[in-house]
Amino acid sequence: GQQLNQSPQSMFIQEGEDVSMNCTSSSIFNTWLWYKQDPGEGPVLLIALYKAGELTSNGRLTAQFGITRKDSFLNISASIPSDVGIYFCAGSPPGSNFGNEKLTFGTGTRLTIIP
């Protein structure tokens, strides 16, 4: 099946630094979503991307849908302590029945902020 590879697997940064992570696939996706998961919680949607080349911001977060439709990146500017968590990309492949589109999740990027 399709797999989404995220990098880096983990990041250790200082508060105030910018963060960049990306997600790549061997096949194209119609939709890219970025989620954040805190320990013991379900993922929370951060940004949704629906068109190749689309660049979308949500506060300090910016994400882009790659032109090739095989990748996406997420940037976080001026990180704060509450940014700690695991970030997952997720994609919806073409060919899914409308209304039942399945999501494939990436391997996750664990963000830790060093005090």
Phi-psi region for residue 112, left (φ > 0), alpha (ψ -120 to 50) or beta? beta
Q: Residue 100 Cβ, how far from another protein at the closest point, in Å?
A: 6
User: In this structure, which amino acid lies at residue 12?
Assistant: F
Among 50, 58, 68, 94, indicate the residue that binds another protein (CB under 8 A): 50
77 or 101: whose CB is closer to another protein? 101
- What are the backbone angles phi and psi of residue 71, rounded to the nearest 5°? -155, 165
Binding to another protein by residue 54, rule CB under 8 A?
A: no
The answer to whether residue 31 forms part of the interface with another protein (CB under 8 A) is yes
84 in contact with another protein (CB under 8 A): no
87 lines the binding site for another protein (CB under 8 A): no
* Cβ within 8 Å of residue 26, ≥6 positions away: 2, 3, 70
Measured distance CA(61)–CA(104) in Å, rounded: 21
CA-to-CA dists, residue 30 to 6, 49, 104, angstroms = 18, 9, 12
* Least distance from another protein to the Cβ atom of residue 78, Å: 26
CA–CA gap between residue 72 and residue 69 (Å, rounded): 8
Closer of 68 and 96 to another protein (Cβ): 96
Is residue 42 at the binding interface for another protein, with CB under 8 A as the rule? yes
Binding site for another protein (CB under 8 A): 30-31, 33, 35, 40-45, 48, 50, 88, 92, 99-108
